[in-house]
Structure 1
Amino acid sequence: MQHQDDLRPDAPSTNLQDGATPTAYDSAVARELLKGLADEELMRIPVLLPGTLTERDQECLDLADPTVPERLVFAGTIVAENALLVPRGQVDDLLWN
């Protein structure tokens, strides 16, 4: 489940309607937190929005709480309302660092 109030109103609708994972580009909160990155870079950062059900165990960084280091999020976890998770394994090393 994705929160429509967090998604860019001007984002290409096909990006989310095809079942694709939203990116930092699609999230107003993520865009603000990562405002030093270009749109092309934001589009390469998948984001698990609040209410999203995780499909597999994965290391994630929570953009909403950058004081917490990466953590393991287990399959079947529903992303909390106050979280904005970035799956580590889906971001290339150059952009991650």
Structure 2
Amino acid sequence: MAQQQRTGHPNEPISEDYKQDLNPNPEAGQNDGPETVEADRFEQTAYEIEALHSRLSDFEKDELQAIPVLKPGARLQQGATYIDLSQSSIEEFTGMGDMSVEAGSYVVPKDRVDYLLWNRLTA
């Protein structure tokens, strides 16, 4: 007797046996969640990072305190604009959902900085 072959359907749920293989990180790139998670993304400001003082010597104390720096391991938001102050040349880049801040990087999100201050940082 011939074996009957099973046919799949687009809306058929994925078996638990295959979920991990097909989607190893199902939350990657998601920008939703409680607001408390947003506060946990920031560890310090540019004022608190001694390594940035010489690079940003033209900025006043209150301006440095207004530049939030993402902590290592924080996920970047899909489509958001950032700069990395640890790079030799400061250039804007667009975050992707699978990107996160590496240790030793000083990543600043554009949407958390006043536009005049941002323009000075990227000039």
Band the TM-score falls in, shorter-chain normalisation: 0.5 to 0.7
Q: CA deviation at 1:89?
A: 1.3
Query: Which structure 1 residue ranges, 5 or more long, are not aligned?
Result: 1-17
Tell me the residue number matched to 2:73. Answer: 52
When normalised by structure 1's length, the TM-score is: 0.66
- Tell me which amino acid in the other structure corresponds to 1:53: A
RMSD: 2.2
Distance (Å, rounded) in 2 between the aligned partners of 1:87 and 1:66: 18
Tell me the residue number matched to 1:29. Answer: 51
- The equivalent position to 1:83 in structure 2, one of 74, 89, 105, is 105
Distance (Å, rounded) in 2 between the aligned partners of 1:33 and 1:54: 25
Checking the alignment, whether the CA contact within 8 Å between 2:76 and 2:101 is kept in structure 1 is no
Checking the alignment, whether the CA contact within 8 Å between 1:25 and 1:43 is kept in structure 2 is yes
The number of residues matched between the two structures is 79
Cα deviation 1:21-42 (Å, max 9, x = unaligned): 2211121122232121111000
When normalised by structure 2's length, the TM-score is: 0.54
Report the 3-state secondary structure (helix = DSSP H, G, I; strand = E; otherwise coil) of the residue aligned with 2:69: coil
What is the aligned-residue identity percentage?
Answer: 28
Report the 3-state secondary structure (helix = DSSP H, G, I; strand = E; otherwise coil) of the residue aligned with 1:47: strand
- Tell me which amino acid in the other structure corresponds to 1:79: V
Tell me the residue number matched to 1:10. Answer: none
Query: Which structure 2 residue ranges, 5 or more long, are not aligned?
Result: 1-38
- Tell me which amino acid in the other structure corresponds to 1:48: L
Distance (Å, rounded) in 2 between the aligned partners of 1:20 and 1:73: 14
